Amino acid sequence: MSRDEYRDSLEGTIPKVVQVVRAASSLAAQDVNFFKTLDGSLGQEIDSSASKLLGSISNLLNNITEEVQDSRFQKMDFDSDYAWKHITNTIDHLFEKADIKLDELSRTSAGKSEPSDSQLMYLDDKEVLNNNSNVSYPTKVMTKPQDSFRFKVDTTEKSSFKPKISYKPNALVSYDESLRLRNAGDDGDFSFYPQPYEYEIDNQPYPEFVIQKKEPIEAQSWKETSATWIDSKDGLLRMVDELRSSTEIAVDLEHHDYRSYYGLVCLMQISNRQNDWLVDTLALRDDLEVLNEIFTNPQILKVFHGAFMDIIWLQRDLGLYIVSLFDTYHAAKKLGLSKFSLAYLLESFAKFKTSKKYQLADWRLRPLSPAMKAYARSDTHFLLYIYDQMRNKLLENDGKLQEVLYESRQVAKRRFEYTKFRPISSTTTALVYSPLMVSNPREPYSSIMSQYNVPAFKKPLIEILFEWRDRVAKRQDESVRYIMPNQLLVTLASLNHPVDAQKVIAASSYVTESVRTHAEEIANLLDMTLKQIEKQDWELMNNIYDQNEPYRHSIDSVTVLKDQNVFNKLYRKCSKLFTTIDQDILRQKSVLFSEKIQGIANNFSVSYDKGKPTSTTTLDICNRINFVRQQFKEMYQEKVQPNILQKDTTTLREAPVHTPAEVQAKPREDPAEIIKLKSNKTTSFQTKSPATVDDEEPINYNENRRILDETLPKSRTKNQKKRSYDPYAQGYDGPKPAKKQQRLNQGRTATFNASK
């Protein structure tokens, strides 16, 4: 096959592979076993397809490498998720090897002088593959290690966290003084226990050899040595005796935080210049305090990489503290390396290539597989050799080593504290870690609302679910992610009233076991909260309605008199207008001028009900007042306005006053013909004679803008310029823009959305 044909076939294959992967991912998100129980023929077809797929994978792997020449994949139970996980791990390993070979080829083709990957050591690939049959995977129902702890995990958080030490070796401040309660002061109304070794960390000097440049000491042979497994008190004491003669040790931890509220330290790796140890911290959880004799000895340097959380885990679970810490993470930052990860340091300084697939492994498993032990051992086996090289590089730059030691001291001084007793001030917050590290401790759920853009009116729902999740997680010693992930929490908060257990279970395609078990309880909480929100919304709407309806409830006599005075003023002000119109209209019976309106002052009564004045007559009067105002307004616009528009503008300001007898003596006139204007046949503004008034046409007020302006147009001065003609100023209608869509107002309430 030519290169062009190969490229064409590859371009056609990749899109199909992508489609297959997407289809497989969407299928994996469904409950396949459930659908198999509904249809027997469907189940048989799925099992047949899975068997064929396993056979294809086995043949593919056998053709790729000789390291997996067996047919065990075809014998696996494809109903087990962990069987498929084993296959994916094997494929990931092969992809990793292919990536290494591609890097080697690229470096060779580029002609780089750097050592090629062929000179690197690798995590024992053959040992990992050959022992795949012995790899332990957790069963679906796994016994929790914390159930066998001698001292149970306390999640009540009734008081601040007390350090788990019974004595204090290598102390500058006594044990009693270090464990004395202190007042939080400005940080809150509570007391807390300080970090027991805070004073020693700040004041104990580092060993002299730390600031001396020496030849790096290479680590022991990776393939010729092995790690010692420690899971008994006798083995622990033997290790401590050997560590006492060391000047530098490397330490690392493996942690699990999915099936525990606070988390669990599952494994501790310790290495000196000669040996490696793997300490089972689950089996020896309550017996490791003796390590403080080594960890707090200022003459023994403790090398960690990224000890930011290791310091917290050590004191929270094991009661261990670190004095004379050297953090290679901060050393990498000060040296300006391109990456700061331990895997990068191992490859750059120790020429060792580790694997990434065990970073998120379940370290609670017992026994650990050889591959997991090898991965854990590699974290500390080369770390002292890396430290030697980084220390020499730091000494070549003035002040860099001192900066790394200062940053390492700050990390070592960190302490664990329960969320309720976490300090608020920024000066102490950086040194304190809590299970819930949120910006707003009073509303810890606010970060979820911000992250998922939850509307403000759903805040009570988010809060009630957040508190329920935290309460159940503490009671069962599970992580909040295991009880109810944030995405599921937000989905449940979006349910509308009414809510029942079935609605909770069907809210998402992925519902945790805890949510299924407590579906009825969650439904009741949501339903009750939604009813409270709706009730509060209606109360708010009623309050707004009450403020806008002053006559909706009882009205006292003061309010009535006030409205009566307003009417009287309005009547007196407008009565002058009737001097030029027929005065008899005031004597006619009408809705507007009836006897009730004329005697409004005596037409209301006030009664008292439970000390509050009430009156139905008052409400009728108020309605009449509003009606009168509207009638005056319309009459003023339609009849009165033309009568007062005379050419002499002074008549508008000073209307003549006539007596009723004079008004009656005038001849009756048609109001529609009171005002007429002669047609203007000339171009100039000239006053017409009174004899031609009847021949004029009525004024069109919409087309005559200068009807009230009797002044002649002024001629332009010399300094005024004639306005240039703009052909687009008028009469040009271009395409109109689309109307802007109104954005959903997050301030609208749940009641509004439910009733929409």
Which tens digit of pLDDT belongs to each residue from 130-184? 444 344 444 446 789 999 999 999 999 999 999 999 999 999 999 999 999 998 8
Say yes or no to pLDDT of 531 above 60: yes
Say yes or no to pLDDT of 740 above 80: no
Q: Check if the beta carbon of residue 305 is closer than 8 Å to that of residue 345.
A: yes
| Three-class DSSP category at 248 | strand
Which of the four pLDDT bands, split at 50, 70 and 90, describes residue 700? low
Among 555, 563, 547, smallest CA distance to 612 is for 555
| Longest Cα–Cα distance in the chain | 134
Cite the DSSP H helix spans in 111-210: 125-130, 175-178, 198-203
Which of the four pLDDT bands, split at 50, 70 and 90, describes residue 488? very high
| Three-class DSSP category at 226 | coil
Measure the CA–CA gap between 15 and 685, rounded to whole angstroms. 85
Picking from 94-108, 298-312, 341-355, 451-465, which range would have the lowest pLDDT averaged per residue?
94-108
The architecture that CATH gives domain 446-548 is Orthogonal Bundle (1.10)
Identify the top-confidence range among 328-332, 529-533, 684-688, 717-721: 328-332
Radius of gyration from C-alpha coordinates of the chain:
44
Please enumerate in sequence order all residues whose Cβ is within 8 A of that of 505, keeping only pairs 6 or more positions apart, or say none: 511, 515, 516, 519
Which of the four pLDDT bands, split at 50, 70 and 90, describes residue 738? low
Measure the CA–CA gap between 674 and 513, rounded to whole angstroms. 89
Measure the CA–CA gap between 347 and 355, rounded to whole angstroms. 11
Please enumerate in sequence order all residues whose Cβ is within 8 A of that of 318, keeping only pairs 6 or more positions apart, or say none: 164, 265, 281, 285, 288, 289, 291
Residues 113-133: what's their mean pLDDT? Answer: 53
DSSP 155: -
Measure the CA–CA gap between 637 and 645, rounded to whole angstroms. 12
Give pairs for 488-493: CB < 8 Å, separation 24+. 488/512, 488/515, 489/448, 489/462, 489/465, 490/448, 490/452, 490/454, 490/462, 492/461, 492/465, 492/522, 492/526, 493/454, 493/458, 493/461, 493/462, 493/465, 493/526
Measure the CA–CA gap between 251 and 258, rounded to whole angstroms. 23
Q: Where are the domains of the chain?
A: 3-134, 145-433, 446-548
Strand extents, DSSP E, 223-379: 227-230, 248-256, 264-271, 276-280, 301-304, 325-327, 352-353
pLDDT in tens, 223-249: 999 999 999 999 999 999 999 999 999
Residues 75-79: what's their mean pLDDT? Answer: 53
Say yes or no to pLDDT of 420 above 50: yes
Inter-axis angle of helices 486-493 and 519-548, nearest 10: 50
Which of the four pLDDT bands, split at 50, 70 and 90, describes residue 512? very high
**In this predicted structure, what is the pLDDT of residue 739?**
53
Which of the four pLDDT bands, split at 50, 70 and 90, describes residue 26? confident
Which of the four pLDDT bands, split at 50, 70 and 90, describes residue 384? very high
SS (H, E, C) 14-44: HHHHHHHHHHHHHHHCCCHHHHHHHCHHHHH
Measure the CA–CA gap between 665 and 662, rounded to whole angstroms. 5
Which of the four pLDDT bands, split at 50, 70 and 90, describes residue 546? low
**In this predicted structure, what is the pLDDT of residue 110?**
55
Residues 177-192: what's their mean pLDDT? Answer: 85
The angle at the Cα of 378, spanning 372 to 380, to the nearest 5 degrees, equals: 120
**In this predicted structure, what is the pLDDT of residue 275?**
96
Percentage of the residues of the chain whose pLDDT score is greater than 70: 63
What stretch of H or E contains 623?
helix 616-635
**In this predicted structure, what is the pLDDT of residue 674?**
44
Cα 327 to chain center, whole Å? 32
Picking from 112-116, 284-288, 352-356, which range would have the lowest pLDDT averaged per residue?
112-116
Q: Check if the beta carbon of residue 37 is closer than 8 Å to that of residue 43.
A: yes
| Three-class DSSP category at 301 | strand
Q: What tokens were used for 242?
A: 């050997």
**In this predicted structure, what is the pLDDT of residue 178?**
94
Q: What are phi and psi of 415, to 5 degrees?
A: -135, 155
Which of the four pLDDT bands, split at 50, 70 and 90, describes residue 55? confident
The architecture that CATH gives domain 145-433 is 2-Layer Sandwich (3.30)
pTM above 0.85, yes or no: no
Neighbouring C-beta atoms of residue 515, cutoff 10 Å: 23
- Asked whether this chain's domains 145-433 and 446-548 adopt the same fold, the reply is no
Say yes or no to pLDDT of 492 above 70: yes
Amino acid in the structure at residue 388:
D
